[in-house]
Chains A and B, each alone.
Chain A
């Protein structure tokens, strides 16, 4: 079994890309991310005056001989950063018809970012939350985790309405959490559930997927129907269209503000864009901060 052919261009485009953690990670396994721990890595980072209790083996004897002062060598350790993807597979992601562009973008983002993380040696896991249930991919560093992730994404049909917040319970607190969703479900609960991770060393990325047809509904739209709530029916005349754009923009701004205040990295992704470019943008924005 191999990764579905449709993800080939994305994987090629993100080859060589790094996605460093936003802050020092607390992992103990050697990895690609700066660790909180200072250890005996060959790469020297700084000197510090020797204090009682320090390991004498870290003393820089040559500097002591030159300066007659005791300094210890400090170097940054690197550790792995488990990366978990929570992918929204509710009915609202199956839009617009017939191509389900939002879902395809979500899958591309998950595969692309998972490939970047896996190549850096990070364990990658996923929870794909649909109305029928949650498909989980156990976090592993092996290369076939991408195959399993691709298979899991391909086996899910976006449908129903399911809450994403409970899926966070299975994600380790200090892992890098990537939420790929249109945030039309339980966004407030999800934000609350994700808010505490920042303080505990976690890293939260929110990729808000929106469609061009949601930003600017086509003129032929006369009556809009919510795929997750049949009671929501809205006629679309000229006046309603203007009100819709205004309200939707306000909501998006409010959501972005809320996630940023919660300590997450928020990014709005338009579904019609190139997934590879979006993956690159996510990784490089993290690198810029790092």
Chain B
């Protein structure tokens, strides 16, 4: 069924057709002149007068003109044709990141939702998303998951299916770990205006590193008279994985320990030739706006920072970086802290230190709460604008809503309509021609030289 994206033009065409019809009814008409030698005896009066009997003149010409106007209005109104759709399609997004407790649980949850679907699209996501040819999701990956990437792929697949199927459902099967959730997750979800079914599976506890083989609770911290030792002793608790904080360059044993799944933090001491403290500097933990500190800190020169930046200065310069080592990681912090004073013991700095003690890869043990998940699953409200919502697909989660195809204007249909307009105008011109020539010369009553224009 055609839908007009700019119906105003069609309305204008209808109004114009009404005006043309009215003109055909009320047109001033000059009667056909006939020769009469004794015409002088008739009283003289106005020759042109509106016909008192309202009747349509030139019905065929009127029909052609109205048709041309309506076709032109339809062509300018940007018609679209919505193809027929039927059936139910389902997009299953399977989380295979390191926080998934058991892939069997994921697969079982997915298989439970195959019933009633005429077509199923499988999407696996760990740190990246990819479409699967079948239900073989594979093993869990030892990387941090990205629901944003998975949702983007799932929504793309869902939009493709919406062109063919009447209902498209999106199901996300994941433990919904907080580490898999970022600022883009909401935006990716909103790209799909219908319901998204969130199926939570068991989560695995957060581990220190990718390998997850070691879950040591042991800590090796500098002595508490060292400001770094003091702050870490305040920041680290039993919920955090094993950590070693070194003030000197890490040893081979430290590297082996990190490969084994531990977190090694190397916080060099400030040297004699260091820049010293600035009057005031701010530090911010990447990816966590709540962890920031302001104090008399300075950058340590000569410290090579390689790997992923995890701490930045207020001007954006990297203050600390994380490098993966086997199952764990090495974090290098190039921040000089004052030897005296209590700046390192302030709550902001303690939180920064706690962040440096988190599992490698920015991992978090937290899960997205059920309330957030519930609100995240409800459909996106449409704007109410028919043109804007013409391409919005609605998904039947628990409701049986029909979907509409994200269709654009049909260029082919517009061309055909414009061709029909041209043909109608040609017919209109052809219909008008005999009336002009007959008035000039074909009328037996009036010689051609006598007919007024």
Contacts and interface: CB of A to CB of B under 8 A. Distances in A.
B43 A92 contact: no
Nearest to A182: B37
Contact of A228 (B37, B41, B43): B37
Interface stretch (A17-25, A28-36, A219-227): A219-227
A233 B37 contact: no
A222 B31 contact: yes
Contacts of A225: 33-36, 39, 446, 450
Contacts of B445: 97
Contacts of A247: 41-42
Given A222-B32, A235-B49, A244 B37 contact: no
A97 B40 contact: no
Nearest to A236: B42
A18 to B, nearest CB: 34
A213 interface: yes
- For B33, B36, B450, the residue with the greatest tally of chain A CB atoms inside 10 Å of its CB is B36
B65 to A, nearest CB: 25
Contact of B36 (A93, A224, A230, A251): A224
Contacts of A234: 36, 39-40, 42-45
A227 B35 contact: yes
B43 A224 contact: no
Interface string B40-76: 1111111101000000000000000000000000000
A92 B42 contact: no
B36 A214 contact: yes
Contact of B34 (A93, A182, A223, A230): A223
A258 interface: no
Nearest to A184: B37
Nearest to B30: A223
Contacts of B45: 234-235, 240
A224 to B, nearest CB: 4
B38 interface: yes
A91 B39 CA distance: 13
A290 to B, nearest CB: 34
Contacts of A91: 37
B38 A214 contact: yes
A216 to B, nearest CB: 11
A213 B445 CA distance: 13
Contacts of B30: 223
Contacts of A240: 42-43, 45
Nearest to B451: A225
A256 to B, nearest CB: 15
Contact of A226 (B31, B39, B444, B447): B39
B444 A224 contact: no
A95 B36 CA distance: 8
B46 to A, nearest CB: 7
A217 B36 contact: yes
A124 B279 CA distance: 144
8 contacts: A97-B444, A184-B38, A224-B34, A224-B42, A225-B450, A235-B46, A235-B49, A239-B43
A-B pairs, top 4 by smallest CB distance, nearest first, are A222-B31, A92-B37, A234-B42, A224-B39
